[in-house]
Amino acid sequence: MIVVNCPHCGPRNSSDLRPCGEVTTRPDPATASLSEWRTYLYLRENPAGWVTETWYCRSGCRRYFTIERNTATNETRSSEAS
Protein backbone atom coordinates (compact mmCIF):
# COMPACT_ATOMS: atom_id res chain seq x y z
CA MET A 1 0.00 0.00 0.00
CA ILE A 2 1.37 3.36 -0.97
CA VAL A 3 1.54 6.54 1.07
CA VAL A 4 -0.39 9.54 -0.21
CA ASN A 5 0.41 12.98 1.07
CA CYS A 6 -2.81 14.82 1.89
CA PRO A 7 -2.03 18.55 1.77
CA HIS A 8 -4.08 19.00 4.92
CA CYS A 9 -3.51 15.84 6.97
CA GLY A 10 -0.01 14.82 5.90
CA PRO A 11 1.15 11.37 4.76
CA ARG A 12 -1.56 8.73 4.98
CA ASN A 13 -1.98 5.10 4.00
CA SER A 14 -3.83 5.05 0.72
CA SER A 15 -6.50 2.94 2.44
CA ASP A 16 -7.42 6.06 4.39
CA LEU A 17 -8.27 7.73 1.10
CA ARG A 18 -10.29 6.94 -1.96
CA PRO A 19 -8.53 7.10 -5.32
CA CYS A 20 -10.69 8.92 -7.86
CA GLY A 21 -8.41 8.41 -10.82
CA GLU A 22 -6.96 10.76 -13.37
CA VAL A 23 -8.18 14.30 -13.30
CA THR A 24 -10.75 14.73 -16.04
CA THR A 25 -12.72 17.63 -17.39
CA ARG A 26 -16.48 17.24 -17.39
CA PRO A 27 -17.88 18.33 -20.73
CA ASP A 28 -20.90 20.62 -20.78
CA PRO A 29 -23.73 18.08 -20.56
CA ALA A 30 -26.08 20.37 -22.41
CA THR A 31 -23.99 20.26 -25.57
CA ALA A 32 -21.81 17.16 -25.24
CA SER A 33 -22.37 14.39 -27.74
CA LEU A 34 -22.84 10.91 -26.38
CA SER A 35 -19.43 9.89 -27.62
CA GLU A 36 -17.74 12.89 -25.98
CA TRP A 37 -19.59 12.07 -22.79
CA ARG A 38 -18.50 8.41 -22.83
CA THR A 39 -14.94 9.40 -23.46
CA TYR A 40 -15.19 11.47 -20.30
CA LEU A 41 -16.81 8.58 -18.42
CA TYR A 42 -14.63 5.68 -19.43
CA LEU A 43 -11.46 6.59 -21.29
CA ARG A 44 -8.25 7.46 -19.46
CA GLU A 45 -4.69 8.08 -20.61
CA ASN A 46 -3.24 5.57 -18.12
CA PRO A 47 0.41 6.34 -18.92
CA ALA A 48 3.37 4.49 -17.45
CA GLY A 49 4.72 7.61 -15.78
CA TRP A 50 3.48 10.80 -14.22
CA VAL A 51 -0.24 11.34 -13.98
CA THR A 52 -2.33 13.91 -12.12
CA GLU A 53 -4.90 12.23 -9.94
CA THR A 54 -7.71 13.16 -7.62
CA TRP A 55 -7.84 11.57 -4.17
CA TYR A 56 -10.51 11.92 -1.52
CA CYS A 57 -9.32 12.09 2.10
CA ARG A 58 -12.27 10.08 3.34
CA SER A 59 -10.91 9.21 6.78
CA GLY A 60 -9.33 12.56 7.41
CA CYS A 61 -10.21 16.07 6.28
CA ARG A 62 -12.79 14.93 3.68
CA ARG A 63 -11.24 17.13 1.04
CA TYR A 64 -10.73 16.16 -2.59
CA PHE A 65 -7.25 17.08 -3.74
CA THR A 66 -4.93 16.38 -6.65
CA ILE A 67 -1.42 14.99 -6.60
CA GLU A 68 0.93 13.73 -9.23
CA ARG A 69 1.87 10.07 -9.09
CA ASN A 70 4.29 8.10 -11.19
CA THR A 71 2.37 4.96 -12.07
CA ALA A 72 5.60 3.07 -12.75
CA THR A 73 7.27 3.79 -9.41
CA ASN A 74 4.45 5.06 -7.18
CA GLU A 75 6.52 8.14 -6.44
CA THR A 76 4.21 11.04 -5.63
CA ARG A 77 4.63 14.81 -5.62
CA SER A 78 2.50 17.85 -5.09
CA SER A 79 0.56 18.75 -8.19
CA GLU A 80 1.15 22.45 -7.55
CA ALA A 81 4.93 22.05 -7.81
CA SER A 82 4.97 21.61 -11.57
Partner 1 sequence: MNPNRLPVRPGEVIDRETSLAFTWNGRPHTGHRGDTIASALAADGVDVFARSMKYKRRRGIMTADHWDPNLFVQVGDEPNVRAGSRRLVAGMEVSAQNVWPNLRFDIGAANQLVGRFLSSGFYYKTFMRPKWLWHHLYQKVLRKFAPGGRIHWETSTHGAYDKRYAHPDVLVAGGGPAGMGAAIAAAEAGASVMLVEHEPDLGGHLRWGDADDLAVLADLAAAVESHPGIEVLVDSTVTGRYDHNWIAVMQRSHEIAPERLIKARAGSLVVAPGLIERPYVFAGNDTPGVMLSGAVRRLINLWAVRPGTRAVVLSANPEGDAAIADLEAAGVEIVAALDARAGEDIVEVEGRGRVGNVVLGDGRTVSADLVVIGTGWTAPTSLLNMAGDRPVYDPTAARYFPNQLPDDVLATGGITGNGTTAELVEHGRATGTLAANRALRNRHDRRSSTARARSPEGPIPESLHDTRASLARTPHPECYRSSSHGMVDFSEDVSSKDLVQASREGFDSIELMKRYTTVTMGPSQGKLETVNAAAVLAETRSMDMVDIGTTVWRPPFAPISLGALAGRIFEPIRRSALQDWHEDHGASPLLAGQWVRPDHYGDPVAEARNVRENVGIIDVTPLGKLDLRGPDVTKLLELVYVNRWQKLDVGRVRYGTMVAEDGVVSDDGVTGRLGEDHYLMTTTSSGAGAIWEMLEDYLQTYRPDWNVHVTAVTGGLTSINVAGPRCRELLLRLVEGVDLSPDAFPYFHVRRGTVAGVPDCIIWRIGFTGELSYEVHVPSGHALHVWESLLANGEDLGIMPFGVESQRILRLEKGHYIVGQDTDGLTKAPSAGLGGLVKLDKPDTLGLPELRAAYARTDLPILVAIQTDDPEVVPMEADQIVDGDSNRILGRITSSRMSPTLGRSVCLGQVDPSLAAAGSKVTILLIDGRRILGTVQEHHAHVDPEGVRQNA
Instruction: For the segment 59-78, give every residue that binds Zn ion (CB under 5 A).
Output: 60-61
Measured CA to CA, the distance from residue 18 to residue 7 in angstroms comes to: 15
- Give which of partner 1, Zn ion, none residue 78 binds (C-beta under 5 to 8 Å, depending on kind): partner 1
- Establish if 14 lies at the interface with Zn ion (CB under 5 A): no
Pairing verdict, β 18-22 and 76-78:
unpaired
Instruction: For the segment 2-61, give every residue that binds partner 1 (CB under 8 A).
Output: 2-3, 5-11, 13, 18, 20, 26, 28-30, 32-34, 36-37, 40-41, 54, 56, 58
